Amino acid sequence: MTTERPDARRTRLQGLASVPTPRSGVPMTLVGVGTPAPTAVTVPEPDEPEHRSRAVVAGVVVVVLVTLAALAVVLQIAFPGAPATAPPRVDQHQGAREHPGSVVQFGQAHTYGDGLEVVVGVPQPYEPSDNATGLEQGVPVRVQVVVTNGTEEGFRPNTLEVAATSGGSEAVNVWDPDQGIGLTGPDVSVPAGGTLQFALAFAAADPADLHLELTPALYGYGALVVEG
């Protein structure tokens, strides 16, 4: 009969107590059973707030750029003829200052810088036809206009403009087609070196006090002031 010593039993119990069990919470590794050992799992660290802020800002910038590009395309489709930039403003009367006019007397010639010469004759009384218009206020008078084309190109006086005053008030332009009197020059071309004569008429409050402001063409010439 074998008798076990009390101290040997305590040693065995202490050794059994150190063996890990499922309830002890200590990981166990079983050898020879065929179950793989657990592997370590790495948990990713959360993004830092600074990184998230940069990502949000970058996303907003991309959205704004895409929106602007889309808006530009829409405007181009809606207004295909619109220029990318506004064209420079052009003064319509800028050309009229290329060859300035002057102040002359009736019967006195004025030659513009390009060689165009204009003479307005002394006002003369005239008898309008039955079809004449613009005679309601004033006495009808007429003037003879002589244009000599000293330029190197043909000249058309069909855009000639003339305004008249008499006795401190406006003198109405008379239109008398039966006598070849129009409100402007005739629609003919005066060749270089050629001369053209035509008449203009007005209803003047005071025929002895007539002032004209004549512009030979719509662009390129200043006004010629003619007075008695």
Structure tokens, 166? 């008499």
> Cα separation of 181 and 170, whole Å?
19
β-strands 139-149, 116-120 pairing: antiparallel
> Cα separation of 51 and 61, whole Å?
16
Are 220 and 96 contacting, i.e. CB atoms less than 8 angstroms apart? yes
Close Cβ partners of 1 (under 8 Å, ≥ 6 residues apart): none
Are 27 and 38 contacting, i.e. CB atoms less than 8 angstroms apart? yes
DSSP-assigned letter for residue 19: S
Residue found by looking up tokens 């179950």 in the block? 35
CA quadruple 121, 126, 128, 129: dihedral positive or negative? Answer: negative
> Cα separation of 118 and 170, whole Å?
23
pTM, whole model, 2 decimals?
Answer: 0.58
What distance separates the 2 farthest-apart alpha carbons in the chain? 172
Residue pLDDT tens, the chain, 228 long: 444 554 544 544 454 444 454 444 444 444 444 444 444 445 445 455 555 566 666 676 667 777 777 777 666 666 555 444 444 444 444 444 589 999 999 999 999 999 999 999 999 999 999 999 999 889 999 999 999 999 999 999 999 999 999 999 999 999 999 999 999 999 999 999 999 999 999 999 999 999 999 999 999 999 999 998
Q: Fill in the amino acid letter for 47.
A: D
Element (H, E) at 198: strand 195-204
How far, in Å, are 5, 14, 15, 24 from residue 18 at the CA level? 21, 7, 5, 10
Question: With DSSP H G I counted as helix, E B as strand and the rest as coil, what are the percentages for the chain, rounded to 5?
Answer: 25, 25, 50
